[in-house]
Chain A
Amino acid sequence: MDAALPVSSDAALTLSVRGLSVSFRDGGAQVPALEDVSFDLHAGEVLALVGESGSGKSLTALAIMGLLPGGARVDRGTVLLESCDLVSLGPREMTCIRGDRMSMIFQEPMTSLNPVLTIGRQLTEGLEIHLGIAVATASARAVELLRLVGIPSPERRMREYPHQLSGGMRQRVMIAMAIACDPKLIIADEPTTALDVSIQAQIIAVLAEIRARLGTAILLITHDLGVVAEMADRVAVLYSGRVVEVAEAEALFDAPRHPYTQGLLSAMPRLDWLAAEGPRTRLAEIAGVVPSLRDRPDGCSFWPRCPLATEQCRREVPPLISTSDGRVAACWVRQVAA
C-alpha cells in the first residue's frame, strides 16, 4: 500500500520495505507469517517496530538481513537498502552487505559474541574483512569504537574475553561491532530487554548518541513501549504479521488510532500516574489472546479482541490507509479522520 505511507522526512531514504510477505513451511502447508509489510526508514531516523510475541517483528528483521530460518521464505515484496533490492541478492552478496552497510544488535549479547575470542579480535575481524585494513590500523580503530560506546579503559578491554564483561558492557561491545564499518542501517532487536533497568537506560543513551553522531538509521525492534517512548521518532505497530498503524511517536502516544495500539498503551502501568494522588485506576486489559499464525482469524486479525469490531472486520482484511489528518492505520472503523 504505497499510497498509504506519506513521506515523513526530507532526509534520504535508507530503507524502504514494500509489500514484504514471508511464509514458513509447517508440515505440508505454507503458513503466511508476514503479510504485505511496508515501511520506510530515513537516514538518522529511529523507527520502532512494535509488537508482541508472534507479531512477526523479529521475522521482519531477519528477512531484511537475509537471515530467515530454514523453512521460511520471502514470497513477495522488496527491501530496498538505498536503492539496492536485498531480496534479489544471493547469499554471497548479502554477506558483503551485512556488517558493512547494515548490521544487527541482538537481545542477548553473550550468545552473539564468540566466547573464545578476545573483544579486540572480534572487533578487528570485521574491520579487516570488510574494510581490508591492516591489523595495526584495525586495532587503533577498535579502541576508538570502544571509546565511542562508552567503555572505560578500552585498551585493557581489548585483551579481555566476553565472560569478563558485565551484561551492559557486552551490549556496548555489540554496538561497537555493529557500527565498526559505519553502516547506513542498524537493526536493534530488543537491545535492552535482557538488561537491568539502570543498564537499559545507558544502552538507550549509547544508541541515541550513535544516531546523533554518525547519522545511522536505526530499526528498533521491541515489545516495550517505554523503550519506544525513549528512542523512536516514528513507530510501526505490528499485529499478527501485519502492520496495523504507522505514526510519529508523539502522535501515537497522544492519540493512537488503531484499537490495538490504544489497548497496548492503556495496558501499560505508568509510574507518573501511580505516584499521583487519588485512587488508583485499574489497568485496561485487551481481552483474549494473541492469535497464533496457524489459526489467524479471517478478516482483521484483531477483531476477536476488538471492542469496535463490526461484521466487515470479520470478513475483510482492512488495508493500511491514510486519513485526511495524515494518520495511517489498518482499521475499517477508524477510516475517517478523528
Chain B
Amino acid sequence: MTTATTAIAPPLLALTGVRKEYVPRRGLFGGAAEPVRAVDGVSLSVDRGETLGLVGESGCGKSTLARIILRLVAPSAGTLRLDGQDVTRLSRARARAYRRRVQMIFQDPYSSLNPRMRIDTLLREPLLIHGLARGGAIEAEVERLLSQVGLATDALSRYPHEFSGGQRQRLAIARAIAVSPEVMVADEPVSALDVSIRAQVLNLLADLQQARSLAYLFISHDIAVVAYLSHRIAVMYQGVIVETGPAREVLRHPQHPYTEILLAAVPVPHPRLRNQAVRHPTGETSVPHGAPSGCRYVARCPIMQRRCQVEPPELHALADGHFVACHLR
C-alpha cells in the first residue's frame, strides 16, 4: 500500500486469538471426551530484530503454539499474520513461500538432521528446494553458511553423527538460515546442550540476529536462558498468556502470581543467596479440559479471591507494554 505512510507498520509476525483444541480419543468405555484446549486465545507479535521469549512449564501449550506458527498444525480459531497478511490458510505455493520466511530450530538437533545425508547435502537441500542458488554459487553459499555458524569447511564431507551436540545445533542453525528467513522459531534450542556449549550457541543466535535482523520466538522452560536473549518475555500457563512485557521489567517487577513463583523457583546463582530466596508453596499443572469458568491459576494461586473463580481475567496493560491477566493486579 503506497498510501500507508501515516499508518503504523504491522508487526512482522502476529497471532490474534489463536486457539487449538484437541479431542482426546474415546476411552475404553466410550465416555464423551471433552476437548483439551492446548492453546486458548493467544495473541502475540514479534518484530524484526526482536526476540520474544516464551516461558512456561511442560504442558502449558508453548510447543503447540510453535507448531501453529510453523503451520505444522492448523489452529482451531484465530489468525496468523506475516507482514500484515493473513497466512492462517494458504495455498501450497504460498505455504512454501511462508516456510522460507519462517524457519525453526528444535531441542534435539540430531532428530532434525537426516543421519544419512552428508553435511554438504544437508545444507544444499534448502537452497535447491527454494531455488536460492545454483551452480558454483551453491558451493560458495554453503561455505559461507558454515563459517557463519562457526564451523570449518572440513565438516562438509562428514555425517551428522560425527558431530557433538553443540556442533549439530550449529548445523541445524546453518540449515535454518540458509533460506534467509525473517522469523526463527527456536523451541528449547539449548536445553539438551552442555553448560559450556550452551553459551556458544546462545551467543551465536544473538550474533545472527544482529547481522540479519532476525525475529526470534525463543521458547524455553528456563527463564534465565530466555531472559538472556529476549527483549520481551511472555509467560504462558495452561494455554494462555498470563503476563507479557519488556524482559527486564518482567524480571524486576513480575505482576502475575505465576510469574512470581516461576522466578522464585529459579535456583540461586550463588550459595550465599540460598537463605534469602523466598519460597512459595506451589502446586502442579494439570492439563485443562474444557473451558474453565474463572482464572486457570486459581488452584495454585496464593492471593486468589472469589471473583477469580467465576470470571476469567483478560490481559490488561499496566505500563509501557507490560500486560497481565490477573484481576488483582
Contact = CB atoms under 8 A, between A and B. Distances in A.
B268 A198 contact: no
Nearest to A260: B196
A333 interface: no
Query: How would you classify the secondary structure of chain B's contact residues: helix, strand, loop or mixed?
Result: helix
B224 A230 contact: no
B320 interface: no
B269 A270 contact: yes
A226 B269 CA distance: 6
Nearest to B274: A230
B196 A229 contact: no
A294 to B, nearest CB: 13
A229 B194 CA distance: 18
A230 B194 contact: no
Interface string A249-280: 11001100000000110011111101100001
A282 interface: yes
B199 A286 contact: yes
Contact of B274 (A53, A224, A229): A229
B228 A285 contact: no
Contacts of B252: 275
B198 interface: yes
B329 interface: no
Interface string B149-185: 0000000000000001111000000000000000000
Nearest to B227: A274
A201 B282 CA distance: 9
Contact of B224 (A198, A202, A271, A284): A271
A200 B282 CA distance: 11
Given A267-B199, A271-B223, A284-B199, A202 B282 contact: yes
A201 B265 contact: yes
A272 to B, nearest CB: 6
A169 B283 CA distance: 10
Nearest to B248: A275
B259 to A, nearest CB: 11
A290 B164 CA distance: 8
A271 B196 contact: no
Contact of A200 (B227, B265, B270): B265
Given A197-B265, A274-B247, A275-B252, A166 B227 contact: no
B199 A283 contact: yes
A125 to B, nearest CB: 27
B71 interface: no
Given A198-B262, A285-B200, A289-B197, A229 B224 contact: no
A250 B272 contact: yes
A22 interface: no
Contacts of B261: 198
Best-buried of B268, B282, B284 by chain A (most CB within 10 Å) = B284
A265 to B, nearest CB: 9
Interface residues of B, number: 46
A196 B285 contact: yes
Contact of A52 (B194, B227, B269, B273): B194
B115 interface: no
Interface in B171-225: 194-200, 202-203, 206, 221-225
A250 B271 contact: yes
A205 interface: yes
Contacts of B268: 226, 229-230
A74 interface: no
B117 interface: no
A224 B262 CA distance: 17
A293 interface: no
A171 to B, nearest CB: 11
B164 A274 contact: no
Contacts of A290: 164, 194, 196-197
A223 interface: yes
A226 B58 contact: no
Nearest to A272: B269
Interface in B276-328: 279, 282, 284-286
B251 A253 contact: no
B248 A52 contact: no
B57 interface: yes
8 contacts: A196-B221, A197-B265, A198-B265, A270-B224, A274-B227, A274-B247, A274-B251, A285-B203
Please provide the 5 A-B residue pairs with the shortest distance between their CB atoms, ordered closest to farther: A226-B267, A52-B194, A267-B199, A286-B196, A275-B251
Interface of B: 57-58, 164-167, 194-200, 202-203, 206, 221-225, 227-228, 247-248, 251-252, 261-274, 279, 282, 284-286
Given A225-B195, A271-B224, A275-B251, 19 more contacts: A52-B195, A168-B284, A197-B222, A197-B262, A198-B284, A201-B264, A223-B195, A224-B267, A226-B266, A254-B270, A267-B196, A267-B199, A268-B269, A271-B266, A285-B199, A287-B200, A289-B164, A289-B167, A290-B196
